[in-house]
């Protein structure tokens, strides 16, 4: 902290200090003459001239000098320059919102400690009329008490400036204080700012940026872990691949990257990572243990150690079972393309059985996820009823229309499963048509929504069967002539899809196109209601606990009844009431969450791996000027001037107004001088 002067030239006024000196010393030799009748006696008195040079009233002299010094200082308009800026001399009321970043990146080095110190310093400098609100933010922002700053800890969450600024804006807009200021204490991580966000603070708001970032950072992170499970020789193997990122500007040599499974280190590699570069590390396939396994990949340690570890959960793959029924007189290889497409793939894998309709048994649907009627009519009677119940209970039904399931082939007791009325065959004699309209919002087609993500227009359709839908909203795809290509209907808990052309090359050549395989897979996953079991989550996400969870261990816990407890890596526990429907556990920490029965029942616990948001490992800094310009109001000169968080010296001086106190002190000195000099004069007389 140092003392600066707004108008240092006024210090020249200190030259007036010679005035009392002149009064006391020099002026006496130049005083006016006083007539006196005769000096005959005075001349006889031995006189020591030294008395002229002595100060008679040193206290008076000191007071006069001090008063002049104070006056000169007051006019020089002094103010205190603090390293943290801002000041305790604010006498005008301010609404100050202190935004303190506590995202994961604040764990880097001593950033958090410095941030807390800065926040405390700002609070200590508040004037008596100021009002302050402390907001801690990461993914979300929350108001906290001033005294809670020291007790707070950085979280594992990512940085989201938008939420913090929105909260600050709301506080400031509701304030009646004449001045408003936002103090943003953060490392200005580039990943925390979404440029699309349109967050602007109220007009007149001064934004003070306190930058905690370092000029040079060194950080190793594992933002990516890929798990590939394969079944070889009847046993399931898993291959783990990770990417090691060096965020620093120095090359990292001899970095040891290790794979740990269920607490045991299985493999390790030593790698070299170039500055601001990355390298992939692939571990050899390892045999997947039975049950749920907890794994991790570690890569040394540094100032931000948490992102040097990536955790995951491995569980045996879930396979879907599909039954394809075809008519007794089916064409040769009528279901070949379907079955072959389903046999490819492991996330999920499919078990496919192809069977003539006449051999269909009611028990064939047990354990099945999807039933496919490939150019075969729906059976009536008990078989039809069974299929109806299958769909009602959540099963998926794919009806592929063709030569053999025309309008007359649908029994009355199951015809309501269809989304519409099946009509006649349409022969496109004037030439083939294509699929032109897809409902990309539907899970079947959402993967094809991006450019170059699947070209359905390459497939040619020569025939199709007319389908008159009850609800136009049920149409998921249309041909180029506007007729229905794919329609859906929800029936009970299940879904029915009707594809109006064949699934082989008899009426079209879609089966020969590259999109056929993903198209079939997406339809089957949609019909089966399949969700992939995620090997890990990201901090900030939520874990849904439902009976429909793709994680079978969670399913088992939910089915088992009784309350559950979700235990975070830190040991914090969350009670989940099993009977209260869908429950949510917020994943706020890095590591493994354990979900288990409260009463310690026999059902094995479920584990959920949670990793740091990869964006938090990117410590790159955003352009503060640009950022502040984006959040301050347009055309707000006051805020623009303060963007660099350098309040002008005039503003700082105006806030402190030390000159006022100096002037009061000077006045007091002068009053004291008057009183003392009067008293001395009276005594002298």
Binding site for another protein (CB under 8 A): 28-29, 31-45, 47-49, 51-52, 681, 684-685
Please tell me the distance from the alpha carbon of residue 210 to that of residue 311, in angstroms, as a whole number: 34
In the bound state with another protein, the residue whose beta carbon lies nearer, of 9 and 39, is 39
In the bound state with another protein, the residue whose beta carbon lies nearer, of 39 and 412, is 39
Non-local (6+) Cβ contacts of 574 within 8 A are 565, 566, 567, 568, 585, 586
Q: Name beta bridge partners: 467.
A: 422
The minimum distance between CB 38 and another protein, in angstroms, equals: 4
Non-local (6+) Cβ contacts of 224 within 8 A are 242, 243, 310, 614
The minimum distance between CB 84 and another protein, in angstroms, equals: 54
The minimum distance between CB 58 and another protein, in angstroms, equals: 16
The minimum distance between CB 679 and another protein, in angstroms, equals: 13
Handedness of CA 352, 355, 361, 362 (dihedral sign): positive
In the bound state with another protein, the residue whose beta carbon lies nearer, of 36 and 216, is 36
Q: Name beta bridge partners: 497.
A: 398, 488
In the bound state with another protein, the residue whose beta carbon lies nearer, of 450 and 684, is 684
In the bound state with another protein, the residue whose beta carbon lies nearer, of 430 and 682, is 682
In the bound state with another protein, the residue whose beta carbon lies nearer, of 412 and 684, is 684
Other Cβ atoms closer than 10 A to 107? 21
Q: Are 74 and 663 in contact (CB under 8 A)?
A: yes
Residue 467: left (phi > 0), alpha (psi -120 to 50), or beta?
beta
The minimum distance between CB 51 and another protein, in angstroms, equals: 5
Nearest Cα neighbor of 324 from 348, 350, 357 is 357
The minimum distance between CB 54 and another protein, in angstroms, equals: 10
The minimum distance between CB 24 and another protein, in angstroms, equals: 10
The minimum distance between CB 23 and another protein, in angstroms, equals: 10
Alpha-helix residue ranges (DSSP H) falling in 47-110: 58-75
In the bound state with another protein, the residue whose beta carbon lies nearer, of 2 and 54, is 54
Other Cβ atoms closer than 10 A to 292? 19
Query: Phi then psi for 13, rounded to 5 degrees?
Result: -60, -15
Q: Are 134 and 143 in contact (CB under 8 A)?
A: yes
In the bound state with another protein, the residue whose beta carbon lies nearer, of 38 and 408, is 38
Non-local (6+) Cβ contacts of 505 within 8 A are 337, 511, 512
In the bound state with another protein, the residue whose beta carbon lies nearer, of 26 and 253, is 26
In the bound state with another protein, the residue whose beta carbon lies nearer, of 51 and 602, is 51
Alpha-helix residue ranges (DSSP H) falling in 82-240: 111-124, 161-173
* 343 sits in which H/E element: helix 336-343
Q: Please state, in angstroms and as integers, the Cα–Cα distance from residue 624 to each residue in 126, 164, 223, 399, 651, following that order.
A: 25, 16, 26, 58, 21
In the bound state with another protein, the residue whose beta carbon lies nearer, of 264 and 681, is 681
The minimum distance between CB 29 and another protein, in angstroms, equals: 7
Buried b (16+ CB within 10 A) or exposed e, 550-560: bbebbbebbee
In the bound state with another protein, the residue whose beta carbon lies nearer, of 38 and 264, is 38
Buried b (16+ CB within 10 A) or exposed e, 661-681: ebbebbeebbebbeeeeeeee
The minimum distance between CB 66 and another protein, in angstroms, equals: 23
In the bound state with another protein, the residue whose beta carbon lies nearer, of 42 and 450, is 42
In the bound state with another protein, the residue whose beta carbon lies nearer, of 42 and 424, is 42
CA torsion 310→345→529→555, rounded to 10°? Answer: -50
Please tell me the distance from the alpha carbon of residue 581 to that of residue 674, in angstroms, as a whole number: 85
The minimum distance between CB 19 and another protein, in angstroms, equals: 16
The minimum distance between CB 680 and another protein, in angstroms, equals: 10
Please tell me what DSSP assigns to residue 621: B
The minimum distance between CB 34 and another protein, in angstroms, equals: 4
Please tell me the distance from the alpha carbon of residue 495 to that of residue 503, in angstroms, as a whole number: 19
Nearest Cα neighbor of 579 from 537, 545, 539 is 545
Per-residue DSSP letters for 442-505? STTTGGG-STTS--GGG--BSEEEEEEES-GGGEEEEETTS-EEEEEEEETTEEEEEESS-SSS
The minimum distance between CB 64 and another protein, in angstroms, equals: 16
Please tell me the distance from the alpha carbon of residue 451 to that of residue 456, in angstroms, as a whole number: 12
Please tell me the distance from the alpha carbon of residue 336 to that of residue 389, in angstroms, as a whole number: 28
Nearest Cα neighbor of 511 from 327, 329, 332, 336 is 336
Please tell me the distance from the alpha carbon of residue 244 to that of residue 309, in angstroms, as a whole number: 10
Query: Phi then psi for 32, rounded to 5 degrees?
Result: -70, 155
In the bound state with another protein, the residue whose beta carbon lies nearer, of 197 and 677, is 677
The minimum distance between CB 49 and another protein, in angstroms, equals: 8
């Amino acid at each position: 902290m140092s003392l600066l002067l707004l108008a240092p030239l006024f210090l020249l006024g200190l030259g007036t200090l010679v005035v009392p000196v002149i009064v006391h010393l020099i002026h006496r030799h130049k005083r006016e003459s006083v007539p006196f009748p005769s000096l005959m006696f005075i001349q006889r008195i031995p006189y020591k001239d030294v008395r002229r040079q002595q100060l008679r009233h040193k206290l008076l002299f000191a007071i006069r000098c001090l008063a002049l010094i104070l006056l000169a200082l007051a006019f020089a308009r002094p103010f205190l320059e603090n390293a943290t800026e801002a000041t305790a001399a604010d006498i005008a009321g301010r609404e100050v919102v202190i935004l303190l970043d506590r995202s994961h990146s604040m764990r880097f080095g001593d950033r958090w400690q410095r941030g807390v110190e800065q926040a405390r310093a700002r609070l200590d400098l508040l004037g008596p009329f100021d009002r302050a609100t402390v907001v801690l933010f990461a993914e979300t922002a929350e108001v906290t008490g001033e005294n809670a700053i020291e007790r707070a800890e950085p979280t594992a969450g990512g940085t989201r400036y938008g939420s913090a600024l929105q909260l600050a804006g709301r506080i400031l807009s509701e304030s009646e204080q004449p001045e408003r200021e936002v103090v943003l204490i953060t490392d200005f991580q580039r990943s925390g700012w979404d440029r699309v966000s349109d967050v602007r603070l109220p007009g007149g708001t001064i934004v003070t940026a306190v930058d905690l970032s370092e000029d040079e950072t060194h950080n190793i992170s594992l933002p990516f872990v890929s798990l590939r499970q394969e079944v070889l020789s009847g046993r399931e193997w898993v291959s783990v691949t990770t990417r090691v990122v060096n965020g620093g500007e120095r090359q990292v040599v001899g970095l040891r990257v290790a794979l740990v499974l269920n607490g045991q280190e299985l493999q390790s590699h030593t790698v070299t990572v170039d500055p601001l570069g990355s390298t992939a590390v692939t571990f050899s396939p390892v045999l997947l243990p039975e049950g749920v396994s907890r794994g991790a990949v570690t890569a040394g340690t540094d100032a931000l150690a948490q992102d040097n570890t990536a955790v995951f959960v491995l569980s045996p793959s879930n396979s879907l079972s599909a039954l394809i029924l075809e008519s007794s007189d089916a064409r040769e290889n009528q279901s070949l393309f379907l079955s072959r497409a389903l046999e490819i793939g492991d996330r999920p894998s499919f078990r496919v059985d192809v069977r003539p309709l006449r051999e269909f048994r009611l028990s064939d649907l047990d354990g099945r996820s999807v039933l496919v009627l490939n150019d075969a009519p729906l059976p009536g009677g008990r078989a039809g009823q069974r299929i109806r119940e299958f769909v009602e209970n959540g099963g998926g039904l794919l009806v592929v229309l063709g030569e053999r399931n025309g309008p007359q082939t649908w029994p009355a007791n199951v015809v309501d499963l269809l989304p519409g009325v099946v009509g006649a065959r349409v022969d496109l004699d004037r030439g083939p048509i294509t699929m032109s309209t897809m409902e990309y919002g539907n899970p079947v087609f959402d993967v094809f929504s991006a450019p170059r993500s699947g070209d359905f227009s390459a497939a040619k359709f020569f025939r199709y069967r007319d389908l008159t839908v009850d609800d136009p909203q049920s149409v998921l795809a249309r041909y180029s002539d506007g007729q229905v290509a794919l329609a859906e209907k929800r029936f009970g808990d299940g879904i029915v899809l009707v594809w109006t052309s064949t699934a082989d090359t008899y009426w079209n050549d879609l089966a020969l196109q590259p999109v056929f395989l993903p198209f079939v897979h997406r339809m089957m996953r949609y019909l089966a209601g399949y969700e992939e079991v995620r090997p890990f989550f990201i901090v900030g996400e939520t874990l849904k606990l439902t009976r429909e969870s793709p994680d079978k261990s969670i399913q088992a816990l939910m089915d088992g009844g009784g309350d559950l407890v979700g235990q975070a890596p830190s040991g914090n526990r969350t009670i989940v009431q099993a009977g209260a429907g869908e429950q949510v556990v917020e994943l706020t920490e890095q590591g493994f969450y354990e979900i288990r029965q409260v009463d310690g029942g026999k059902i094995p616990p479920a584990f959920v791996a949670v990793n740091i948001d990869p964006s938090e490992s990117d410590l790159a800094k955003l352009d503060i000027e640009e950022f502040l310009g984006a959040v301050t109001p347009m055309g707000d000169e006051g805020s623009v001037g303060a963007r660099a968080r350098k309040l002008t010296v005039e503003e700082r001086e105006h806030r402190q107004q030390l000159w006022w106190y100096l002037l009061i002190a000077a006045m007091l000195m002068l009053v004291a001088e008057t009183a003392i000099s009067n008293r001395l004069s009276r005594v002298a007389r």
